[in-house]
Structure 1
Amino acid sequence: MSAQGYVLIKVSEKAPKEVKTRIRKLMKGTTVTIKGKGYRSRGLVEEVKGVALAGGVYIIPLSATERVVEKLNEKSLAEYIEIINLCTCPCK
């Protein structure tokens, strides 16, 4: 992780279990097996060089926040997350 700003993305505790599962699969990726062959999809966290900190808590670069929120909006999942800005610089 470089010296740029980061944001925490936290899944709401009030989100239904199936919504939490959909967000987790989108953020961390999934693996499916078809006819004995495994196929893996990379998650958003890996694509934007973020880190999954705990169940439902992810840290991603500030520059990638818009992309992640767009993907969550496409799947109607953005209403179930909280974005916490970790930038403490006085410039903003």
Structure 2
Amino acid sequence: MTKAQIIERVSEQVTTLTKRQAEVVVNTIFDCVRDSLKNGDKTEIRGFGSFRLRARRMKEGRNPKTGATVAVPAKRVPFFKAGKELKELLNQ
């Protein structure tokens, strides 16, 4: 499902919202999750799951073309953990 399909579904289910208003709602939710992760905070949506950051250590990688070793710097990556209700729904 794409972002455009989510916006379409929201505008269909909430008939008082126009498509443009539904787009603002969806974008606001995504922006809040993005800003939360950027600040190092966790975002939890009950019944769906939680978004958080995980730290990856620096490691040695390999350039596939030359075979030379390359240092891959440490970084933070987003991680999603599904909530209990979502897991139960998927495993019925």
TM-score (norm 2): 0.29
TM-score (norm 1): 0.29
More strand by share: 1
More helix by share: 2
Higher relative contact order (CA 8 A, sep 6+): 1
